[in-house]
Amino acid sequence: MDYLPQDPFILASCINMLLRDNEFDTLNSLCCYFNKDINELTDYLNQNGFEYIEEQKQFR
């Protein structure tokens, strides 16, 4: 995957897949790779009804 999608539902799904499949160890490492600010990303997904659960490494 060369970029992260903009649609919040597809974005959350892609992030969850990348974390689940061990492409990235943490959300922070994923954000660094894609040159995204972790706070902006989580705020954007929070505004669209998703919450990041650190223990499960996924957005719900």
Q: What is the share, in percent, of the chain residues with pLDDT greater than 90?
A: 92
Q: What b/e readout covers 20-58, taking b as 16+ CB neighbours within 10 angstroms?
A: eeeebeebeebbeeeebeeeebbebbeeeebebeeeebb
Mean of pLDDT values over 30-46: 97
**What is the rounded average pLDDT for all residues in the chain?**
95
Distance of CA 58 to the CA centre of its chain: 7
pLDDT score for 2: 75
Instruction: Decide which of 47 and 3 is more confident.
Output: 47
Split at pLDDT 50, 70, 90, the class of 3 is: confident
Q: What is the mean pLDDT of residues 3-14?
A: 96
Is the pLDDT at 1 greater than 80? The verdict is no
